[in-house]
């Protein structure tokens, strides 16, 4: 019986024999098939979370479903097995969600199909934090057991999530058009989830470093937000929306132009002028004024240097770590509040427009717009 | 050249990768009919090929059209080696041969392969052009309609019921070895599939011919079965009821009876019957006496047969008896004949029926529910079994042996019915159980007296205006009245005056195989009652084995019967409907499973309690033990009464007044009353032998038995269950429907099991299955599991297999109390001159939506009666909504093509909506396309097809029957483990079968399958070799149904139907 039920090497069905009573050992076959496929959302979640049938039964028992329905443990066992089997049979279809709507094997109401897909592609923030920006390769997949141990997400679930990332990545990699829209159409995901996947794909493609200790305080949602900002403003797609990979690769021309911003720190007059403009505007408006004034040159150098170096792939990868090291950490050690940060960056950006010798207003705005919103999002504990 | 079949291959999708190198497939299609084959071009390198082929035309005899399926094979082209088959589709074109059914088959069919299952889909168009054939000697029977439904189909009216038709076809099973050699090439299973498809086509054609000979045009209650006799061959047999059906324009289709329920108040039933009962002339024919020892069976050279002594007639609780096991073809004179009847009118009735029926060899009807008034009296269950030894079928063209076997059984059934004073057998069915070379043939039905007007030509139109004396009994209790004669009872039974009309005699319990007549009055709710039994037997061969089985059968029948009786009493009920007794034979055991739906018929007396009697009085501890058990039993009965809401009105003679003329009768009546009030001594006196509801504890086995009686768990709150079409006592079904199939196989672990131990295991198996269903379907509460159909088998020595198909239906709990009010009105209508359209229960939300949608499409202003009730919108209603649009459009297309729309006086709102739609939309094609796209809302482009084992879908009306679905599949695997073990294998297979049924129905233009059943599910496994094989046969009726609007019941209940049609007119 054990051997028989070991479906496709999945850990889920190994436990076909764990009926409670001894004589229940002898249930050789047990299936239930509805014309409309019956799926219990709770069990689906347990399956997605990579629990074995036995664990799932335990969790369900603790949830009190038995008392509700006057059922016994083996009823629960049988039901859980059935559902697990159904999910496994559906899994193939979930890999290309558009097929799910056209297939004939399972009659699943459309709203349930949507739930199935959405849940299947949902991921754990703790997990995605671990692989965000990593190459979605076999090597990474091999290390998933470490990730599993570290995050407490079961290996099975880790694999599913990783495979989802990889699958989405592969499909949208070579498609024209907007990344988020492509994901939504090909995987029938909700807007929110599509955007999250867009960010994951974007991070994986550009291999942003997110795993350093210094970045640990950032959540996936912080990164997803920043990723969205970058996709919308810094990629080729931001200017031309009919190119392949348009949302995945940064706009090379723009990165080249960013070098021009160096004048803001290289030209001493310009730097002083910028500083005095900012300080005039800030004076009396914040308690951290003294620190701002003292650090202005450092901070400005930090931001402009980041911009100037983005033509190097290596420095693109370090974008977030640079932001943290060069800007966020100094501010935090000076105990700026979030409001201070806003105030400072707003004036910092706007003052540059008043500098009469500074000619790169468009590039500056395109750069600072993203930097501002990223730092606002990232500036927390 | 009477027919031209045309097929067009449009496209494929989701094909499997056949070429590993390119990850693509070079697919082409072979289309084969008879011996002609056409091919499409190869569509290179695509998993979604577009062939868009020409029309392939086959010019064939209509005989072939009936027999042969259209065979479509999808292949992968391979330049260097042989082309690989991807899979096949068999399309039964029978539905196209009847002009009232489907006109085109068009849709996506799953491409099926016996090893790989479903591998993508193919889009096919099929049409048939039939030329009129006036040849008198023709072999085809095109145009005869077939229905699996065991009731008069919803959009037809029965003009005449011709009666029983049967046929069987045998063939050598070319691949019978597949059972032994599980590793068979795919080709051999495909050969079997093809052969069986061909045989069922031929069978259907032959049955059709018989119906044409009778002058009928349809077969209702068509039941086809396969006997895989292994070495001795393959038998396909079918029975059905030949009828002449008239199409009713769908607006006024008689919604038959399932929803209709009369008032339970007995007093309201005016009784028109002559009150001369009880004055039967005395006459001298002996009662058939109980034959104590089983009739010795006769050993025939090649077969042995033993009519079980208890089986013949068991209308009531007593072990009925009958010496009447002789198979003489001459009917017993006297029994049930007119001369012995009571009133002259009854006599007249008898005579009419008799003349109508006596021309028929077998007055059998496979129907289980009937138009009101059809069933006059019901006698009880008649059944017959016989054990045969299979031998090789030498000449497949003359299957005389098998015919003779069944003939013998049917004669026996017929004579049992006669013994019960009945002329006909209704709810008739036949089945077999085969193990190696032993075969048990069983037949059962319900002896009944029928209203002759359905047997006579042209009678129905005038039938309703005939004087009332034609129906001597009130409908709510008439069928319970005994058909046999009181002083000459075929078995000891206890009669009382009917609690409904107080004029005629009724038995104390009534067992039947039919659905409960819609007009019957019940108290409370019904419930599923099962008797389960295992009997070990020694392994043996040949005649010895057959003998052993024949000897066991009567005891099994008796025990099953006793169990049923006790369980019925424990639930405080007095009648069983839908009784099915299945006895399956295995190498070392026999399994018996009896399922039925128990109810409390208001017309029958209240059942007495169950008494425990000890064998050894005086033993104090024993006494105490007995008292404890007795208390438990009494508690159970009380609990059940509450659970099933059985509160019969306390009727005493004084209150009712006494229509009973003679003191003798009166005293008898009193006595029966006293019995129900626990007076044991009286009981014994009245019966002279041990009554079924006194349980005697004489040994530990008996204690076990009683415990097992009490272990049957009642369904959890919110659930009801029954094995009949619908649950007596529930009227307000909503649209939630979930059909399911569940299979469990249990391996008996240790060889030295006792009968008791086996019984326990078997009972637990069934009980646990039920518990699983309740659990799985808990989200549907309040809900009823209807048509629970259990099939047991002993596939291998230590395996017990139980397969269940049933449907869970939701109902509206709130309305239960309101309904009786409506019911009275209902009844008024029923008794009126016409069978009315009726539906008590409607899904408010879905019908509301549909009304809105309808009006949107057609430009009709919002109609009035959109229900304000806002129940949760479930998927069902969504599906209904979608398909309704589609069907309305299709329907319109049909009516346009046919050039006329029948709007009879009674055509109701829906029909009008359709016709108005027709008028207001000049571009039907464009419309339908836009609807199609609407339907794909949510990304789905697959038609939702509902399936149900019932003859209807709640909240909808069937507007068209598209033809019978009868499909046979074999699936095999050589990688059992990889496919998830036997469970994974079977799970996939059943899901695939459902998918293929749905696809065929959708291609016929349908949106539902009614009367669905799984006839066969044979699983063989060999885990050591990592192999398994399974064979499934399913059938049903493909239909188009539309959501009923809320208006109809209201209008119908009010009475004049013109109101609603004019109301609808007003909107156009």
- For chain A, give every domain's residue range: 20-108, 122-207+215-250, 254-378
Task: Please provide the distance, in angstroms rounded to a whole number, between the alpha carbons at the two ends of chain B.
Answer: 46
Interatomic CA distance for residues B983 and A31, integer angstroms: 6
Nearest CB to A104 within list B947, B990, B995 = B995
- Report residues of chain B scoring pLDDT below 50: 136, 178-180, 182-183, 250-346, 458-471, 652-692, 816-940, 1047-1068
For chain A, what is the radius of gyration of the CA atoms?
26
Q: Does B118 touch chain A (CB under 8 A)?
A: yes
Cβ under 8 Å to B: A residues 230-289:
none
Q: Does B677 touch chain A (CB under 8 A)?
A: no
Q: Which residue of B has its CA nearest to A114?
A: B938
Looking at CA atoms only, how far is residue B126 from chain A in angstroms?
20
Encode pLDDT of B724-769 as tens digits: 988 888 888 888 899 999 999 998 876 667 888 888 889 889 998 9
Place of tokens 């500098």: A355
Nearest CB to B746 within list A27, A70, A75 = A27
Interatomic CA distance for residues A364 and A254, integer angstroms: 10
| CB atoms closer than 10 angstroms to residue B633 | 21
Partner-chain contact A104 B118, CB within 8 Å: yes
Question: How many degrees, rounded to 5, is the angle at CA B807 between CA B804 and CA B809?
Answer: 150
Partner-chain contact B740 A33, CB within 8 Å: yes
Nearest CB to B740 within list A16, A32, A89 = A32
What confidence score (pLDDT) does residue B350 get? 53
Chain B residues whose CB is inside 8 A of the A38 CB are: 738, 740, 776-777
Chain A residues whose CB is inside 8 A of the B1023 CB are: 3-4
**Cα dihedral: A51, A56, A58, A62 (round 10):** 110
Q: Does A32 touch chain B (CB under 8 A)?
A: yes
Interatomic CA distance for residues A105 and A225, integer angstroms: 39
Q: How far is CA B208 from CA B68, B142, B223, B1037, in A?
A: 15, 8, 13, 17
Peptide bond into B782 cis (omega under 30): yes
Q: How far is CA B125 from CA A249, B32, B68, B166, B999, in A?
A: 48, 14, 17, 33, 13
Q: How far is CA B89 from CA A33, B111, B603, B991, in A?
A: 23, 6, 53, 17
Question: How many degrees, rounded to 5, is the angle at CA B336 between CA B333 and CA B338?
Answer: 90
- Name residues whose C-beta falls within 8 Å of residue A337's C-beta, 6 or more positions apart in sequence: A288
Q: Which residue of A has its CA nearest to B745?
A: A29
Per DSSP, what are the bridge partners of residue B506? B496
Tokens of A229: 């900002």
Angle between helices A179-187 and A191-206 (to 10 degrees): 120
Band of the pLDDT at A16, cuts 50, 70, 90? very low
Chain A residues whose CB is inside 8 A of the B775 CB are: 69, 71, 75-76, 79
Question: How many degrees, rounded to 5, is the angle at CA B275 between CA B272 and CA B276?
Answer: 140
Nearest CB to B983 within list A85, A101, A107 = A85
Strand, coil or helix: A379: coil
Interatomic CA distance for residues B143 and B100, integer angstroms: 8
Q: Do residues B915 and B903 touch, judged by C-beta distance below 8 A?
A: yes
- Name residues whose C-beta falls within 8 Å of residue A41's C-beta, 6 or more positions apart in sequence: A115, A119
Partner-chain contact A107 B942, CB within 8 Å: yes
Report the pLDDT averaged over residues A89-116: 91
How many Cβ pairs within 8 Å bridge chains A and B? 189
Q: Please name the residue ranges forming H helices in B688-808.
A: 700-711, 755-776
**Cα dihedral: B98, B102, B108, B110 (round 10):** -40
**Cα dihedral: B279, B285, B287, B292 (round 10):** 170
Interatomic CA distance for residues B735 and B484, integer angstroms: 42
Place of tokens 């009709």: B860
Interatomic CA distance for residues A276 and B558, integer angstroms: 107
Tokens of B653: 């003679």
Sign, Cα dihedral of B1034, B1035, B1039, B1043: negative
Q: Does A88 touch chain B (CB under 8 A)?
A: yes
Partner-chain contact A69 B775, CB within 8 Å: yes
Task: Please provide the distance, in angstroms rounded to a whole number, between the alpha carbons at the two ends of chain A.
Answer: 53
Report the pLDDT averaged over residues A234-262: 78
Per DSSP, what are the bridge partners of residue A72? none
**Burial (Cβ within 10 Å: 0-12, 13-18, ≥19) of residue B868:** exposed
Chain A residues whose CB is inside 8 A of the B743 CB are: 29-31
Q: Taking the mean position of all CA atoms in its chain, how far away is CA B244?
A: 21
Report the pLDDT averaged over residues A323-350: 89
Interatomic CA distance for residues B543 and B555, integer angstroms: 19
Chain A residues whose CB is inside 8 A of the B766 CB are: none
Looking at CA atoms only, how far is residue A50 from chain B in angstroms?
17
| CB atoms closer than 10 angstroms to residue A163 | 13
CA-nearest of B868, B862, B915 to B889 is: B915
Sign, Cα dihedral of B193, B198, B201, B203: negative
For chain B, what is the radius of gyration of the CA atoms?
29
- Name residues whose C-beta falls within 8 Å of residue B625's C-beta, 6 or more positions apart in sequence: none
Partner-chain contact B942 A68, CB within 8 Å: no
Partner-chain contact B742 A38, CB within 8 Å: no
Q: Which regions of chain A does DSSP assign to beta strands (E)?
A: 27-34
Interatomic CA distance for residues B674 and B657, integer angstroms: 19
Q: Does B676 touch chain A (CB under 8 A)?
A: no
Place of tokens 């549909």: B850
Chain B residues whose CB is inside 8 A of the A100 CB are: 939
What confidence score (pLDDT) does residue B19 get? 82
Substitution target from A76, A87, A107 for chain B, most B beta carbons within 10 A: A107
Chain A residues whose CB is inside 8 A of the B773 CB are: 32
Interatomic CA distance for residues B594 and B529, integer angstroms: 8
Interatomic CA distance for residues B1027 and B178, integer angstroms: 12
Encode pLDDT of B109-153 as tens digits: 999 999 999 999 999 999 988 776 555 455 667 778 899 999 888
Instruction: Give every strand in the sheet of B313-314, ordered side by side.
Output: B313-314, B375-389, B438-450, B424-435
Interatomic CA distance for residues B1056 and A291, integer angstroms: 91
Per DSSP, what are the bridge partners of residue B29? B74
Q: Does B745 touch chain A (CB under 8 A)?
A: yes
Interatomic CA distance for residues B368 and B1013, integer angstroms: 15
Interatomic CA distance for residues B475 and B671, integer angstroms: 27
Q: What is the DSSP letter of B452?
A: G
Cβ under 8 Å to A: B residues 1000-1019:
1019
Per DSSP, what are the bridge partners of residue B789? B805
* ipTM for this prediction: 0.86
**Burial (Cβ within 10 Å: 0-12, 13-18, ≥19) of residue A124:** middle
Q: How far is CA B450 from CA B166, B329, B378, B423, B426, in A?
A: 21, 22, 9, 8, 9
Chain B residues whose CB is inside 8 A of the A86 CB are: 987
Question: How many degrees, rounded to 5, is the angle at CA A93 between CA A89 and CA A95?
Answer: 115
Sign, Cα dihedral of A199, A200, A205, A208: positive
Q: Does A174 touch chain B (CB under 8 A)?
A: no
Chain B residues whose CB is inside 8 A of the A7 CB are: 977-981, 984
């Amino acid at each position: 019986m054990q051997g028989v039920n070991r479906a496709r090497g999945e850990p889920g069905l190994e436990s076909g024999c764990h009926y409670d009573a001894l004589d229940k050992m002898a249930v050789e076959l047990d299936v239930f098939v509805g014309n409309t496929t019956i799926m219990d959302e709770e069990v689906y979640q347990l399956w997605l979370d990579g629990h074995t049938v036995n664990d799932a039964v335990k969790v369900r028992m603790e949830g009190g479903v038995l008392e509700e329905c006057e059922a016994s443990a083996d009823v629960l066992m049988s039901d859980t097995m059935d559902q697990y089997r159904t999910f496994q049979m559906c899994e193939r279809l979930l890999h290309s969600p558009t097929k799910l709507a056209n297939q004939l094997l399972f009659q699943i109401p459309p709203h349930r199909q949507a739930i199935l897909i959405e849940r299947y592609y949902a991921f754990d923030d703790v997990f995605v934090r671990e692989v965000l920006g990593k190459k979605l390769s076999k090597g990474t997949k091999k290390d998933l057991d470490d990730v599993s141990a570290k995050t407490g997400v079961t290996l099975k679930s880790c694999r599913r999530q990783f495979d989802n990332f990889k699958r989405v990545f592969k499909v949208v990699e070579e498609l024209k058009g907007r990344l988020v829209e492509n994901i939504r159409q090909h995987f029938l995901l909700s807007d929110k989830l599509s955007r999250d996947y867009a960010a994951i794909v974007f991070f994986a493609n550009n291999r942003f470093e997110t795993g350093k200790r210094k970045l640990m305080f950032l959540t996936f949602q912080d990164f997803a937000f920043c990723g969205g900002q970058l996709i919308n403003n810094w990629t080729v797609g931001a200017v031309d929306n009919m190119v392949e990979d348009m949302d995945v690769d940064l706009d090379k021309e723009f990165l080249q132009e960013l070098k021009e911003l160096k004048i803001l720190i290289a030209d001493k007059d310009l730097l002083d002028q910028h500083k005095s403009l900012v300080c005039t505007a800030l004076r009396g408006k914040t308690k951290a004024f003294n620190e701002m004034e003292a650090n202005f040159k450092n901070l400005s150098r930090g931001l402009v240097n980041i911009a100037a170096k983005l033509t190097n792939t290596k420095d693109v990868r370090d974008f977030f770590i640079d932001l943290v090291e060069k800007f966020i950490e100094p501010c935090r050690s000076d105990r700026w509040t979030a409001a201070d940060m806003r105030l400072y960056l707003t004036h910092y950006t706007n003052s540059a427009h008043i500098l009469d010798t500074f000619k790169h207003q468009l590039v500056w705005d395109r750069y600072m717009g993203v930097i501002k919103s990223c730092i606002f999002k990232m500036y927390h504990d | 050249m009477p027919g031209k079949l045309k097929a067009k291959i449009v496209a494929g999708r989701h094909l499997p990768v056949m070429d590993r190198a390119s990850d693509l497939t070079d697919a082409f299609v072979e289309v084969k009919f008879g011996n002609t084959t056409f091919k499409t071009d190869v569509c290179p390198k695509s998993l979604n090929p577009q062939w868009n082929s020409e029309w392939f035309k086959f010019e064939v005899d209509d005989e072939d059209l009936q027999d042969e399926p259209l065979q479509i094979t999808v292949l992968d082209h391979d330049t260097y080696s042989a082309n690989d088959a991807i899979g096949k589709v068999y399309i039964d074109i029978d539905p196209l041969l009847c002009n009232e059914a489907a006109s085109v088959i068009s849709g996506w069919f799953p491409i099926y392969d016996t090893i790989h299952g479903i591998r993508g889909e193919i889009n096919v168009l099929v049409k048939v052009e039939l030329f009129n054939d006036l040849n008198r000697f023709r072999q085809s029977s095109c145009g005869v309609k077939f229905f699996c439904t065991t009731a008069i189909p919803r959009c037809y009216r029965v003009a005449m019921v011709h009666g029983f038709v049967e046929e069987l076809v045998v063939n050598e099973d070319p691949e019978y070895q597949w059972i032994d050699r599980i590793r068979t090439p795919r080709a051999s299973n495909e050969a079997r599939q093809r052969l069986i498809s061909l045989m069922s086509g031929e069978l259907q054609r032959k049955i059709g011919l018989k119906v044409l000979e009778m002058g009928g045009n349809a077969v209702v209650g068509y039941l086809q079965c396969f006997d895989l006799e292994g070495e001795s061959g393959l038998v396909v047999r079918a029975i059905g009821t030949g009828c002449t059906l008239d199409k009713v324009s769908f607006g006024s289709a008689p919604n038959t009876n399932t929803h209709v329920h009369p008032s339970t108040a007995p007093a309201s039933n005016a009784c028109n019957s002559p009150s001369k009962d009880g004055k039967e002339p005395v006459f001298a024919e002996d009662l058939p006496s109980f034959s104590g020892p089983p009739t010795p069976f006769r050993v025939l050279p090649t077969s042995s047969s033993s009519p079980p002594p208890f089986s013949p007639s068991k209308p009531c609780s007593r072990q009925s008896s009958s010496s009447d096991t002789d198979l003489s073809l001459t009917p017993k004179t006297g029994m049930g004949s007119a001369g012995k009847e009571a009133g002259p009118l009854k006599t007249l009735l008898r005579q009419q029926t008799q003349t109508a029926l006596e021309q028929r060899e077998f007055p059998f009807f496979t129907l289980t529910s009937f138009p009101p008034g059809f069933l006059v009296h019901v006698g009880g269950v008649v059944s017959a079994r016989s054990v045969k030894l299979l031998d090789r079928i030498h000449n497949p063209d003359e299957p005389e042996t098998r015919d003779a076997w069944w003939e013998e059984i049917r004669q026996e059934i017929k004579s049992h019915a006669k013994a019960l004073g009945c002329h006909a057998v209704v709810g008739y069915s036949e089945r077999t159980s085969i193990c190696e070379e032993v075969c048990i043939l069983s037949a059962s039905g319900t002896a009944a007296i029928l209203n002759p007007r359905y047997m006579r030509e042209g009678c129905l139109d005038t039938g309703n205006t005939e004087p009332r004396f034609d129906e001597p009994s009130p409908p709510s209790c008439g069928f319970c009245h005994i058909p046999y004669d009181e002083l000459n009872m075929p078995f000891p039974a206890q009669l009382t005056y009917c609690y409904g009309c107080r004029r005629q005699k009724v038995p104390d319990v009534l067992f039947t195989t039919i659905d409960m007549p819609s007009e019957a009055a019940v108290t409370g709710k019904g419930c599923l009652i099962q008797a389960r039994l295992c009997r070990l037997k020694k392994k043996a061969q040949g005649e010895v084995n057959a003998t052993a089985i024949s000897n066991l059968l009567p005891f099994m029948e008796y025990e099953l019967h006793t169990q049923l009786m006790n369980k019925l009493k424990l639930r405080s009920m007095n009648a069983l409907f839908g009784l099915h007794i299945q006895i399956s034979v295995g190498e070392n055991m026999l399994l018996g499973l009896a399922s039925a739906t128990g109810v409390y018929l208001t017309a029958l007396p209240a059942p007495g309690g169950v008494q425990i009697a000890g064998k050894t009085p005086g033993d104090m501890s024993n006494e105490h033990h007995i008292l404890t058990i007795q208390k438990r039993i009494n508690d159970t009965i009380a609990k059940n009464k509450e659970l099933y809401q059985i509160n019969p009105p306390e009727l005493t003679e004084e209150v009712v007044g006494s229509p009973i003329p003679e003191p003798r009768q009166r005293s008898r009546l009193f006595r029966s009353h006293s019995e129900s009030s626990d007076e044991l001594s009286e009981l014994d006196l009245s019966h002279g032998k041990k009554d079924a509801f006194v349980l005697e504890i004489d040994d530990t086995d008996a204690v076990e038995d009683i415990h097992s009686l009490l272990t049957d768990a009642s369904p959890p709150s919110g659930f009801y269950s029954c094995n009949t079409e619908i649950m007596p006592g529930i009227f307000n079904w909503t649209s939630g429907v979930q059909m399911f199939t569940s299979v469990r196989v249990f391996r008996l672990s240790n060889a030295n099991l006792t009968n008791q131990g086996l019984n326990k295991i078997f009972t637990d198996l069934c009980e646990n299955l039920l518990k699983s269903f309740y659990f799985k379907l808990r989200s549907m509460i309040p809900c009823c599991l209807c048509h629970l159909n259990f099939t047991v088998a002993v596939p291998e020595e230590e395996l017990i297999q139980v397969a269940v198909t049933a449907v869970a239906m939701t109902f509206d709990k709130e309305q239960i109390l309101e309904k009786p009010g409506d019911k009275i009105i209902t009844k008024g209508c029923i008794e009126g001159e016409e069978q009315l359209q009726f539906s008590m229960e409607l899904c408010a939300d879905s019908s509301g939506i549909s009304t809105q949608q309808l009006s949107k499409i057609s430009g009709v202003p919002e109609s009035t009666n959109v229900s304000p009730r806002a129940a949760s919108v479930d998927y069902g209603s969504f599906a209904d909504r979608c398909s309704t649009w589609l069907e309305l459009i299709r329907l319109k297309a049909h009516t346009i093509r046919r050039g006329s729309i029948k709007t009879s006086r009674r055509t109701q709102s829906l029909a009008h909506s359709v016709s108005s739609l027709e008028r207001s939309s000049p571009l039907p094609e464009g419309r339908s396309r836009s609807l199609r796209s609407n339907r794909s809302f949510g990304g789905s482009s697959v038609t939702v097809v509902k399936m149900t084992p019932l003859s209807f879908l709640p909240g909808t009306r069937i507007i068209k029957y598209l033809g019978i679905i009868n499909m046979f599949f074999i699936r095999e695997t050589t990688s059992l483990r990889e496919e998830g073990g036997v469970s994974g294998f079977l799970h996939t297979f059943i899901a695939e079968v459902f998918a293929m049924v749905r696809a065929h129905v959708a291609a016929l233009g349908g949106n539902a399958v009614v009367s669905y059943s799984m006839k066969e599910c044979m699983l063989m496994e060999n885990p050591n070799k990592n192999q398994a094989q399974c064979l499934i046969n399913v059938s049903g009726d493909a239909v188009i149904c539309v959501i009923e609007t809320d208006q109809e019941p209201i209008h119908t209940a009010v009475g004049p139907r013109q109101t609603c049609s004019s109301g609808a007119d007003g909107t156009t």
